[in-house]
Amino acid sequence: MDASRSTARAGRVASGIAAADSSGADTETSPVIVLTYPHAGAELLAEGLAASRALAVTSATGILPLCHDAIAAWQEVDARVGPPSSLAIKSVRTLAATMIAAIQVRAGAPRWCETSYSSPAAAMAFLRVVPGTTFLCLHRDLDGVFAEALQTYPWGFGGTPFWPYAADHPGDNVATIVDYWVDRTQALLEFEKIHPESCVRVRYEDLAGDPKSAVTTTLKTIGVPTDDLQIFRQPVAERDSVGQAGSDPQLPHDRIPPRLEDRIRELRAELGRAA
């Protein structure tokens, strides 16, 4: 496709997105956002979603936080407290729609799918800007996050997603990881509760155990065709060698801060996991 035709098509796609409102969003072409946090296994989910030709899969483009910041700027411009003005929403929607359209045209896919580690506040701002967006809320159990964190950062958490939580637990990596998991999991669950009609929950453990089944079910739930999916990874259990099995660092439960024990049990129960 030459540049002029590509530009024209992007303009048509952007116009369609920008014209959408809360009553007219097209769920068959509306964005799909994988909302999660670092080390929850988003890479595996994104790989599975990319098996669909209907999705233009990207990661951390910055579009969600950009919309959040743009709305905040408009609040200052309008000297407004409370919901943003219709002008602010239309302006930011046009900005987002233009970038999303460029991604869709480049990929040749009718629907944008982004992995985002943004805050729930940024996700809520984007949902206001682009109604009809579906959020795949990806969760991972504490044990898995703990093992990956220690394997990824064996020399310390400075400059990592865990660092903001380390100040409350000097020298205690276990408590730092647990605090991180509780905070991020709780925030994601609260977002689901506020926007149940826009959220689909995905668990990393289901995905790792049977990627094809988990991704196929998820795609069907959000209205994406599944009859032409590409190759999936084998389940994690089949890819790992016998020698590697059981080698992940184990969470020492006796070192979990007592103040977090009850909350961990509550969160695991909400996620359908045993305490």
Contact 96, 33 (CB under 8 A): no
- pLDDT at residue 138 in the model: 98
End-to-end CA distance of the chain: 54
**One CATH from 1.10.20, 3.30.2030, 3.10.450, 3.40.50 for 3-270:** 3.40.50
Strands lying side by side in the sheet with 134-139: 55-59, 111-116, 32-35, 134-139, 199-203
> What is d(CA 48, CA 42) in angstroms, rounded to the nearest whole number?
10
Lowest-confidence region among 64-68, 257-261, 265-269, 270-274: 270-274
Which amino acid is located at 136 in the chain? Answer: L
Radius of gyration of the chain (CA): 20
Residue 241 confidence (pLDDT): 41
Question: What average pLDDT does range 231-251 have in this prediction?
Answer: 58
How far apart (Å, rounded) are the C-alpha atoms in residues 275 and 229?
Answer: 36
Report d(CA 84, CA 74) in Å as an integer. 7
Whether 221 shows a pLDDT value over 70: the answer reads yes
Indicate the length of the chain as a whole number.
Answer: 275
Provide the pLDDT confidence category of residue 16 given band limits of 50, 70 and 90.
low
Residue 261 and residue 275: Cα distance in Å, rounded?
A: 10
Q: Read off the pLDDT of residues 94-148 as tens digits, 9 standing for 90 and up.
A: 999 999 999 999 999 999 999 999 999 999 999 999 999 999 999 999 999 999 9
Q: Name the residue ranges covered by the structural domains of the chain.
A: 3-270
Asked whether residue 269 carries a pLDDT value surpassing 50, the answer given is yes
- pLDDT value at position 14? 55
Q: Is 95 exposed, middle or buried (0-12, 13-18, 19+ CB in 10 A)?
A: middle
Percent of the chain at pLDDT exceeding 70: 83
β-strand pairing of 32-35 with 55-59? unpaired
pLDDT digits (tens, 9 = 90+) for 158-193: 999 999 999 999 999 999 999 999 999 999 999 999
pTM, two decimal places: 0.88
Mean pLDDT of the chain, nearest integer? 88
Q: Using the 8-state DSSP alphabet, how is residue 202 labeled?
A: E
pLDDT, greater one: 273 or 75: 75
Distance, in Å, from the CA atom of 62 to the CA atom of 69, rounded to the nearest integer, reads: 11
Alpha-carbon distance 22 to 166, whole Å? 41
Cα separation, 195 vs 134, whole angstroms: 10
Q: What is the pLDDT of residue 18?
A: 58
